[in-house]
Structure 1
Amino acid sequence: MPGHRNAPIEITPLYCVCQQSYDVNRFMIECDICKDWFHGSCVQVEEHHAVDIDVYHCPNCDVQHGPCLMKKRINWHRHDYTEPDDGSRLVQAGTSVFVRELQNRPFPSAAEILVQMQGHQVTQKYLEKQGFSYPIAVPQLGGLGLKLPPSSFSVRDVEEYVGGDKIVDVIDVARQADSKMKLREFVKYYYKPHRPKVLNVISLEFSDTKMAELVVVPDIAQKMSWVENYWPDDSFFPKPFVQKYCLMGVKDSYTDFHIDFGGTSVWYHVLWGEKIFYLIKPTQDNLALYEVWSSSPNQSEVFFGDKVDQCYKCVVPQGTTVLIPTGWIHAVLTSQDCMAFGGNFLHNLNIGMQLRCYEMEWRLKTPDLFKFPYFEAICWYVANNLLETLKELREDNCQPPVYLTDGVKALITALKNWLKREVTEQASEVPDHIRPNHLIKELTKEIRYLEEQSGGSKPVKSQGCGPCPLTRSTLDKARHHARRTARRLRHHHHHHHAPKTPSNLEILELHTRQVLKRLEVGPFEEDVPFSSTVMAKFNKTSMASAAAVERSLDNNLLLVMCNVVPILVCRQCPTSPTTEEEAIEGMLSMAGLLYPQRPEESSTAQEPWWSSLAHQFSDSGTLQAQQHVRKECRAELSQRIQENKNFMDNQSSGSNSNSSEAWGDQSPSQCASSPLRLDPSSGTDYQYSETSLSPRHPSKRPAPNTPPISNQATKGKRPKKGMATAKQRLRKILKLSRNNHFLL
């Protein structure tokens, strides 16, 4: 057609004998004759072999020009073995000369610094008390909770479970250079009678493979791990997997001195073979020297062990497990063919050192490939959870352990610095649901309070006090949930009401904390009557504190905790409207449904507190809405009273009702951890969590549902589908015992 010009057709260049387009993720090599490019896998050239080729001829050109020309070895002590051996160049790490000299060097024995322990002794309680500052050696597998394949497990077995097509990072030890190859190619290399090179695999993380089922990490690593305890399931960032590594090294493999990414601690078990660790303590001076050495252009020519006062030699034989603490500088020599399993974990005991190691990586411009994935994000999650921990300890008048206080201080400094960096950096790892400046402010307030208390005369309990555990048992989760709800209510009242005489609810909350400190109830037993299991223990442990409350409460409210189910016992309480109101108040408080009054309503002492619910959750706040709420609560209570009388009568007459029937379709733990929501019929959802999609992330997609508050109890999990609403929870937890006794 006249005047018509066809649009240019974009032609993608094709390469290799396979005629595929260029793929940045695949190794390619250029032919020195025809200048065409070929995939290494298509022409049978491995990446680590390419450096040995001086002139490469592709399959088409080698017909006319002959095979490739290989480089000639001139020396055995340099990474580039073609350098002239004139005696002027120093030995470099990893070369055969270096390894031979290293094996002949004398070193002080690691017995001076190594802590020998049995597996059952390595507990979180022990490390929190004694600290985790020196390496631990466990000669036997038992007691660690560590599950591994048998010692007959081979490199071929790894290929079978992981898959031969898995791309693995392989270190060419003599060059201290990293390359990639398929696992099946490494297995072929491993079983060659004469290996042309020393290749080492140290970073095969197999959590996403079938082999993951064969390995269970040590109990101590699971219980202390930040990722296991604090990483939310609904996080925008992908969860880091650094807990399960398989290491396959041949004799004379060497890894030069390093600190594990993010200052992580390491568990390490030799399945068969032997490893030798060269350990250096992370003192201030040694860390400063390490940073200078790491950034030095002649780093490979300087053995870092010669730069410090002490470098210890630790031989790890078959069947031995070692735990290396945060920040320890170490090199590793494989003295014989070896398979080992290991993993990395961050924890609360050495937060400051972990942050220092991370900052050092940042200054050294360490590539992301060799850094802990989303290190800053996990620190924000941890800070958010430690804030709750500090508040709970303060409410219990319990002094936090020193390591935790020091760790939070270090976190505050790091978080402030990271926020400042965001001005110039594109990427940010602040989670969307966290308000960073508010979090830092609240943490600072808690630390300031602790410093004021330590300088004052107010007595506090010691850091080892019983009611202040930092473990995550079932009862701790319930305590955390109840304390958090009560604290938010009190915080709201503090900002909206003038000081007043403590109410029955406040006295009840005080008594709750006192009872929880002494009460330890076992798991809920489905077929055992409540009175025979819980009440006996309750009567024994709580009568002293109950006496004080009985003098203050007309209806003699007593609070106990059965597993994670709040139980309210009202003894000899008449069914008058006043008692109904107070009973509902206690019930809703324990269910996490008590909401504060509006400021203008605080002066109306005669009006039941729950009449303010109409103001909270309706647009008009009219009297009709108030009456509707009051009427619904009373009707609900009356209905539950009658239903549960029948229920308890059936129980006493021999009916076999198990716990799943009594609690509907939910377990007690599900009821206790249900999100705080209103009746769906109201058309409004209400949560205590603060919804704050950070303006720093305009490109991030908001979650379909507002995520719950991430804390130690919930681990940031979303509400499961079908979880009870607030009204459903109220219905399920109202239970009557005989003789008009309430069970909540």
Structure 2
Amino acid sequence: MAETPLYCVCRQPYDASQFMIECDICKDWFHGSCVQVEEHHALDIDVYHCPDCADHHGSSLMKKRTNWHRHDYTEPDDASRPVQAGTSAFVHQLQARSFPRAEEVVVQMQGSQVTLSYLEKQGFQLPIMVPQPAGLGLRVPPPSFSVRDVEQYVGSDKVIDVIDVARQADSKMKLGGFVKYFYEPQRPKVLNVISLEFSDTSMSELVEVPDVAQKMSWVENYWPDDSHFPKPFVQKYCLMGVKGSYTDFHIDFGGTSVWYHVLWGEKIFYLIRPTPANLALYEAWSSSPNQSEVFFGEKVDKCYKFVVPQGATFLLPTGWIHAVLTSQDSMAFGGNFLHNLNIGMQLKCFEMERRLKTPDLFKFPYFEAICWYVAKNLLKTLKESREDKCQPPEYLLEGAKTLIIALKSWLKREVTGPATEIPERIRPYRLLKELTKALRYQEEAGRNKPIRAQGGGAWPVLVQGSRVRRMAKRVARHLHEKQTPRNPSNLDILELHTREVLRMLESEPLQQELISSRKFNKVSTASAAALQRSLDYLRLVLSNGRILREEKWQVMEESVQAKDGERTAWQQEGMVKIKIESGFLGSVKSELRNRGSSGQSEASDSESEDGCESQGEVRTQKHPGGLDCQMNCQTEWGVELCQRGYPNPMTPKSPLLLHPSKRPAANLLPITNQATKGKRPRKGMATARQRLSKILKLREHSQLFV
């Protein structure tokens, strides 16, 4: 096995993460940090001599600068070529340009006014300028905080990304080297630091993100602690730039929104609205080979100039195309965050980055993974809104739609392309199915009827156009049905009867005396008195599981006479019975009175002592007149009526009771519960059928009858 080649004066193997330079004499490679050569200086070296070769061949030879308006200082024919972005000539031209007033698009607000509820109601579409940080919940070091203080908290050996502004090229150097450069009286180059993320350093304790950015951030709210993906750190950046630093037009990675606070110095923003036309122009400009030679602000209809002074905070929404010029030495703190208010624009910017083949270094880390976490939480939010009967905000519904489309496209790309960042414990297809279902329900609910808006009804759902006419028709039909009397249905009769019996039960506890199992005797005096005080009651005439007639009676007490020293519950001489109303009803399924137990069926086949055949709670007795009658044999009053030969008021006028062998088979199909429309009733809400079933089980109470 071949030995690993060793390089540099430190005799270490090649490391791709470290900058190395080749000696043009010995052809050996050296780490830039070992030979004191910064990466941004390498492009200026024409011939490099390592320390050993420099003793014999002299120092390295530098390139001779021939222009100040091109990225390549020694480019031939430079006089006929246009000015490139970032050069000193470009900065002078930029400062001399005129731009529209930014007050047209920038909203001036106080810190206490910038809240989550305000942005949810008004939207986050325009930049916001806050002159003083009071009320924002922002905490930063005092203005005396210097670049050397940053070195003390972060560490001088921290490797940072540095932009060579004149070349618009990225390079790496140690923070200690940049601090040394920053304090040089004569700076040979313009260097800019815009991507020093310090969340994992001790300086993080000195900075608190604004409350509104923290409450809206996807990373802060949706990223789980047990994720197998490392958590993205994009919330806290320190920006250190010298005078003349320029960052060309761009959209922040992943379409993130940004907050900036200028600790000292000054920043100038050049702002362009993210309209579809401007975004299309931006994508074409970004992919053009002469991008650095074209000032993008001239290609759009309006490019606004806005100055952010020392102590001010600037909030930039999703997708805004912007360039930044540092007019004087400055230090600023800022951060990026994804949120729910502009999901569609964020996804559009991310897809644009993919088409432009943006390197991963300049993209939002694990953007697809956090979108899956957001989809999971959106599903939870929609389900809670459904349970609370609240209409979610429109921006949330539109964002969920766009997110579903994007997630589906990423799943399709997984088959042919690289694997997507699907987190563990997430079943993508099931999640998309449930989210689509929840979204469809909320949309249908919003179209069919006005539902109070989520958040206490601050945003009412407006009803317009044809929906107004449909609602007017429903109201008119409801008034017509209310004024027009209708015949009661079987379900209405059962409900009424249930309520009557429950009212009787609640009036006074019933007492009874049982003489044998499932056989009844006389009603006690206390229960008789309770029934006498019940002035109204409803009788249902049943035969073979069919309701033949419903009769509402009113009972008025005239006198109750004693018999053999005891009070009988119902004596014909002591009661006046007034029939209020009766009507013939349709059939009701026999299972309403079925007990569902073998013991009850056995009791229904047994005969009582007074000669009546028991059929559940209704008994049949041969009437002296020769007609089959049905009466309630649970009360002595019913027995006495039958024995004395009086016609039973509950007997049907036509002989509907046939011989058992000739009776049609009962329809045993279940009754549709119209009260709940086939749905399972909520806990604590019994249907009429369930309440009636409970009443039928109270057969030991002799006063109850059906």
TM-score tier after normalising by the smaller chain length: 0.5 to 0.7
Note the 1:27-42 alignment, pairs <5 A.
27-42=19-34
Local SS of the residue matching 1:212: helix
Out of 30, 35, 38, the position equivalent to 1:43 is: 35
**Counterpart of 2:352 in 1: which secondary structure?**
helix
Which whole-Å deviations, capped at 9, do the CAs of 1:271-291 have from their partners, x for residues lacking one? 000000000000010011111
Using the TM superposition, give the Cα deviation of residue 17 of structure 1 relative to its aligned residue in structure 2, in angstroms: 1.2
- Which one of the candidate residues 275, 279, 284 is aligned to 1:283? 275
The answer as to 2:81 corresponding to 1:113 is no
**Which of 233, 247, 272 lines up with 2:225 in the alignment?**
233
Query: 2:297, 2:370 → 1: CA distance?
Result: 33
The amino acid that maps onto 1:292 is A
Deviation, 1:391, is 1.2
Counterpart pick for 1:134 among 126, 139, 151: 126
Query: 2: CA distance between counterparts of 1:35 and 1:304?
Result: 43
- Partner amino acid, structure 1, of 2:298: D
Tell me what 1:74 maps to. 66
Q: CA deviation at 1:460?
A: 1.2
Tell me the alpha carbon deviations over residues 544-586 of structure 1, each in whole angstroms, 9 at most, x when there is no partner.
xxxxxx99xx9xxxxxxxxxxxxxxxxxxxxxxxxxxxxxxxx
Q: 2:160 aligned with 1:189, yes or no? A: no
Cross-structure match for 1:589: none
For residue 416 of structure 2, give the secondary structure of its aligned residue in structure 1: coil
1:658-703 per-position Cα deviation (integer Å, ceiling 9, x unaligned):
xxxxxxxxxxxxxxxxxxxxxxxxxxxxxxxxxxxxxxxxxxxxxx
Post-superposition shift, 1:449?
A: 1.7
2:432 counterpart residue number:
440
Q: CA deviation at 1:465?
A: 2.9
Q: Matches of 2:396 and 2:47 in 1, distance apart?
A: 60
Superposed structure 1 runs of 4+ greater than 6 Å apart: 603-606
Matches within 5 A, 1:19-418: 19-418=11-410
- Structure 2: how far apart are the matches of 1:274 and 1:417? 43
Q: Distance in 2 between matches of 1:312 and 1:459?
A: 41
Tell me if structure 1 keeps the 8 A contact 2:255–2:347. Answer: yes
8 Å CA contact 2:385–2:454 kept in 1: the answer is: no
Aligned residues of 2:265 and 2:331 also touching (Cα < 8 A): yes
Question: CA separation in 2, counterparts of 1:93 and 1:410?
Answer: 36
- Residues 455-512 of structure 1, C-alpha deviation per residue, up to 9 Å, x if partnerless? 32x331135535999xxxxxxxxxxxxxxxxxxxxxxxxxxxxxxxxxxxxxxxxxxx
> What secondary structure, in the 3-state scheme, does the structure 2 residue paired with 1:236 have?
coil
Write the distance in 1 (CA, Å) between the matches of 2:381 and 2:33: 54
TM-score (norm 2): 0.65
1: CA distance, partners of 2:426 / 2:228:
12
Query: In the TM superposition, what are the counterparts of 1:662-677 in structure 2 within 5 Å?
Result: none
Partners of 1:291 and 1:35 in 2: CA distance: 42
Residue identity (%): 77
Aligned amino acid, residue 413 of structure 1: I
Cα distance in 1 for residues equivalent to 2:595 and 2:357: 63
Q: How many Å separate the matches in 2 of 1:192 and 1:87?
A: 31
Per-residue deviation at 1:448?
1.7
Letter in 1 for 2:452: K
Greater radius of gyration (CA): 2
Deviations 1:257-303 (A, max 9, x none): 00000000000000000000000000010011111111111000011
Aligned residue in 2 for 1:490: none
Q: Which amino acid aligns with 2:139?
A: K
Counterpart CA distance in 2 for 1:605 and 1:303 is 86
CA distance in structure 2 between the partners assigned to 1:187 and 1:37 by the alignment:
27
Q: Distance in 2 between matches of 1:605 and 1:15?
A: 91
Higher relative contact order at CA 8 Å, sep ≥6: structure 1 or structure 2?
1
Cα-Cα RMSD: 2.1
Q: Is the 8 A contact 1:244 1:342 kept in 2?
A: yes
Q: In the alignment, residue 281 of structure 1 is paired with which amino acid?
A: R
Query: Aligned partners of 1:343 and 1:332: how far apart in 2?
Result: 15
CA deviation after TM superposition for structure 1 residue 428, in Å: 2.4
Taking the aligned partners of 2:213 and 2:56, their CA distance within structure 1 comes to: 60
Gaps of 5+ in 2: 461-501, 507-593, 598-706
Asked whether 1:459 is paired with 2:444, we answer no
CA distance 1:64–1:604, shift in 2 (3 Å): farther
- 2: distance between equivalents of 1:452 and 1:409? 14
The alpha-carbon deviation at position 451 of structure 1 amounts to 2.7
Shift in Å, 1:236: 1.1
Unmatched segments (≥5 aa) in structure 1: 1-8, 470-549, 555-602, 607-744
CA contact (8 A) 1:75 1:85 kept: no
Q: The residue matched to 1:460 in structure 2 has which SS?
A: coil
Q: Which residue of 1 aligns with 2:493?
A: none
Alpha carbons of structure 1 residues 122 and 437: separation in structure 2 relative to 1, 3 Å: same
1:129-162 CA distance string (max 9 Å, x none) = 0000000000001000000000000000000000
For 1:246 and 1:158, locate their aligned partners in 2 and report how far apart those are by CA, in whole Å: 9
> Does structure 2 retain, via aligned residues, the 8 Å contact 1:173–1:254?
yes
Q: Is the 8 A contact 2:254 2:349 kept in 1?
A: yes
On the 8 A contact 1:225/1:345 being kept in 2, the answer is yes
Tell me the CA shift for residue 83 of structure 1.
Answer: 1.0
**Which residue is equivalent to 1:684?**
none
Quote the Cα distance in structure 2 between the aligned partners of 1:84 and 1:12. 42
Structure with more of its chain in helix, by fraction: 1
* Change beyond 3 A, Cα 1:467–1:155: same
Contact in 2 for aligned 1:265/1:346 (Cα 8 Å): yes
Give the number of aligned pairs: 468
TM value normalised by structure 1: 0.61
SS in structure 1 at match of 2:52? coil
> For 2:596 and 2:146, how far apart are their aligned partners in 1?
76
Note if contact 1:74-1:85 (Cα within 8 Å) is conserved in structure 2.
no
